[in-house]
Structure formats: structure tokens, C-alpha cells
Amino acid sequence: MNEIPFNVPYSTPSDLDYCRAALNDNHLSGDGRFTARASELLASIIPGTKSLLTTSCTHALELAALLLDLDPGDEVIMPSFTFVSTANAFALRGAIPVFVDIRADTLNLDESKIEPALTERTRAIIVVHYGGLAAEMDTINEIAARHELAVIEDNAHGLGGTYKGRALGSLGLMAAQSFHATKNIQCGEGGALVTSDPMLMNRAEIVREKGTNRSQFRRGEVDKYTWLELGSSYLPSELLAAVLTAQLEHFDEIQAKRHSVWDMYQDTLTEWARESGVRTPDPPSHVEHPAHLFYLLLPDGSRQQSMIRHLGQHGVKAVSHYVPLHNSPGGRTYGREGSPSPITEMVSEGLVRLPLYPGLTDAAVERVTDAVRSFRV
Ligand SMILES: *Cc1c(COP(=O)(O)O)cnc(C)c1O
């Protein structure tokens, strides 16, 4: 019996055609017609915003950090339970990631832990919508407004999700999207910076083009381009934008398939989970999630690896994440603890993610849920 992989990136019938078209255009550098088309499609999923494609979510976060004009020693609040890039992007500017614990229900930044962690140097709050379930944005934005802090959404999981009817990615000053192969919409490696602020978008365009006004030059708005501010090369090749365009054109179809798998997991596992003391995602009624991931949270962290082994023996590849940042070697060197993080530590030790991708058949989902329910928690 073949192992059911953890993730299989979706490929669309247009992927190859669009790559061929990009090659035929003889335009493989950035900012061609596929970049423009993909950005338009993104704006339709995150209404009221504009998007600049980048080579990764990591780079979109670095771009956001550059746009904040952080000084060394400035502080940035973020959850400890996240991917390293959330912290790295700001540490690279000499800023200090300040790690705060997550809520036990949504696994998002615990908004009640933010204010006690603020200092005179705090400049921004980074939220991660874990699994695409929105963080408590009204409270977080209200705290940010009161203390004049920027709110950045690490929306790597959240494309297509909503909070009180508003699209994730449009709820802060800027958002970072990921199109890594493990995300809902993917082009292998890719990302985007999203914002509704035209001034920031103008500067973002400069920072992303090596700190120059080359984009204006290309549009014929200036007759030479020159170095204006700190920047880097964050724009992806048209080849990647071609694949991304194809994916985004199939957004509804991809999402429908992911939701169908997610719903099957929930329908089949909720009762077993309740009886076993295991927790599964439980989206609050004011959010819509984009079916990015489905997890089991075991009551006893020491059982995580045995469950992953058990599933492996039944032909199912399951994985865990994230290793907490606050007590990691990098976190200790570059960051500090804004609160104790017992929930982050408990979740990191007890969380198991199940395979979830559009090509997962009903029969395969059944194999996964059978294997899960045969595990003695
Ligand atoms: C995947 C991920 C990233 C990094 O995305 P890349 O596109 O690989 O740079 C950042 N933050 C979170 C929460 C992620 O899940």
C-alpha cells in the first residue's frame, strides 16, 4: 500500500501553457503580464488591497520590515508559535522579536498578553492567522491604535479566510502571503506583500526593485532610474508568476476540494476526538477558514511522536510543527520573552497535522481517519 503523502501541490492544466507563454514572450525577469494578472487576481480575493508579488512570504515580511523603518533595538510583538521567518525578517533589521503566548482555542496570538509586553521601543504587532483562523483583529487593532503600533498580518495560511466578513490580508497595515509548495495556492516558492495604503505601495515598489525607481522608469514616468533608499531584489521571475496565475485562476476549485477534505476530517473525527480528549480545529462563528490545515491536539505531548509513528505504520504521513521560537537558540539570541509561553510549549509537543491537499480522494481520507481512530491516545 502506497503511503499517503502529507502534501501534494496542486497542478492545473494551465501551468505548463502559461510557462511556455512566458518563455515565448522572451520575458523571464519580473513584472511582466503574468505578474500583473496574478496581482489582479489576488486583489480580487483580498478586496480593497493591492499586491506586489515577491519571491517568498519570508521576503514579503522582510519588505514589510524595511518599510517600517525600524531602528536597531525597536521591538516587535509576535507569537512564539510560528514559523521562523516571522521573527527573522525583523531581527535582520536589528529589531527585537518579543515573543508572546497563544490562545488555547485558536492557537493565535493571545491579545490579552500584548499590552503587558509593550515597552517604549515597541513598534509593531505581527499576527499569524494560524490555520487561516483569524486572530482577534478588532482587539488587536484597537491596542495598536492606542499605542501607535503598526499591525502586520503574516497571512501565509490565510488566503481566502475572513474575520467578521472581511478578508484576511486586509486587516492590518500590511500583510505577507506565501505561495510556497505547502500552501493552498502555490508556485513552488513565492509570496506577496499586500496593503491598501497607496503611499506604502509606492515605497514597496522601490524597495522591491533594489531600492530604485526602476518600476517608474519602466512605465515611462522618469527617463533614468536611480538609487533612492535601502532595498533588495524581491521580485519573482515571470516563470513563477505564470504558474501562480494558473493556480489563482483555479482558486475556487482548489478551495472547494480542500474544504471537502477538511469537512470530512471534522465529520469523521469530532466524536472520536471528544471521547479521546483530543482537540481538533474549532473555528469561531465570526470567522471563515480557508481549509489550510487540520490538526489533532493530543492531551499528552509524549504521545505526539508515537501517533506520527502509528500513522506512518498505517501508510499515512503526518507531521508536527512549530518548534517554539522563544526558547530556540535563535530566539534567545535575537529576541526576548514578552510573556511566559506555556500554551505554545504544550501545543508544539502535542500537535499532529494530517495530510490535506486537493488531490486527496475520499478513500484516502477514510484511510487516514481509520488510522487515526485506531490509535490509543
Ligand atoms: C510558510 C510560512 C512562512 C514562510 O513562507 P515562505 O513563502 O516559505 O517564505 C511564514 N510564516 C508562516 C506562518 C508560514 O506558515
Of 193, 222, 249, which residue constitutes the final position of a domain? 249
Q: Which atom in ligand 1 lies closest to the alpha carbon of residue 189?
A: 7
266 burial level (CB within 10 Å; 0-12, 13-18, 19+): middle
Whole-number Å distance, alpha carbon 83 to ligand 1 midpoint, is 6
Give dist(CA 208, CA 231) in Å, integer.
Answer: 6
Question: What is the three-class DSSP state of 109?
Answer: strand
Quick one: 193 and 259 in the same domain?
no
Quick one: 209 and 285 in the same domain?
no
Asked if the bond preceding 234 is cis, omega within 30° of 0, the reply is no
Structural domain total, the chain: 2
pLDDT of residue 322: 97
Nine-digit cell string for 243: 504558474
Residue nearest ligand 1's atom 1 by CA: 156
pLDDT of residue 127: 98
- Bridge partners, residue 50, by sequence: 195
pLDDT of residue 68: 98
| pLDDT beneath 70, residues of the chain | none
Our mutation pick for probing the ligand 1 site, out of 51, 53, 55, 57, counting the most ligand atoms within 8 A of Cβ, is 57
Helices (H), the chain: 14-25, 33-45, 57-67, 84-91, 137-147, 198-208, 214-218, 238-249, 251-276, 304-313, 329-334, 342-350, 362-373
Quick one: 220 and 367 in the same domain?
no
- Bridge partners, residue 77, by sequence: 98, 125
pLDDT of residue 301: 87
Residue nearest ligand 1's atom 8 by CA: 180
The total of other beta-carbon atoms located within 10 Å of residue 95's CB is 24
Give the HSE-up count for residue 144: Cα atoms under 13 Å, Cβ half-sphere.
23
Quick one: 295 and 365 in the same domain?
yes
Distance from CA of residue 252 to its chain's centroid? Answer: 19
Quick one: 226 and 274 in the same domain?
no
Quick one: 206 and 343 in the same domain?
no
Quick one: 234 and 267 in the same domain?
no
Residue 7 lies in a domain: no
Range of the domain at 109: 15-249
